[in-house]
Homo-oligomer: A and B are copies of this chain.
Amino acid sequence: MFTIDTRSRTPIYEQLMEKLKELIIREVMKEDEQLPSVRVLAQQLTINPNTIQKAYRELEHQGYIYSIPGKGSFVSPVKNEINKERMEMLRKELERIVGEILYLGVPKDEVIKLIETMEEPERREDKND
């Protein structure tokens, strides 16, 4: 499914979160799709189940997945009460990074251009639950 660098200084569970988020954001994994179980993924990546569990727990807390005991873990539907803390954190991070980029001399226009090349995810409007 993906690879983990056990020697990296960034913790395994964080790497896992990034990779999984990537799959969710790029919509490789879609709403309500089941994630590999804690044990299966642990075996595939040859890392400890507890580490997977930690990553899943965090992703659930951030609103990216939801878990049902006995059934499994699944990708969260996007619009369901976006985590406000997370949104606030992202806004701050964005400001920090753009601030740093501007300081380093990259003109604002270029930053905006970069963002304009990025794709907005397509989404149905009609699916109001």
Chain A contacts to B: CB under 8 angstroms:
18, 21, 24-25, 78-79, 82, 86-87, 90-91, 93-108, 111-112, 114-116, 118-121, 123
Contact = CB atoms under 8 A, between A and B. Distances in A.
Contacts of A91: 101, 114
Given A94-B101, A112-B115, 5 more contacts: A79-B105, A87-B101, A94-B111, A108-B115, A115-B115
B107 A116 contact: no
B93 A97 contact: yes
A53 to B, nearest CB: 19
B102 A114 contact: no
A99 to B, nearest CB: 6
17 contacts: A18-B96, A21-B100, A25-B100, A78-B105, A82-B104, A82-B105, A94-B94, A94-B97, A94-B101, A94-B111, A102-B121, A103-B121, A107-B120, A108-B118, A111-B115, A112-B112, A115-B115
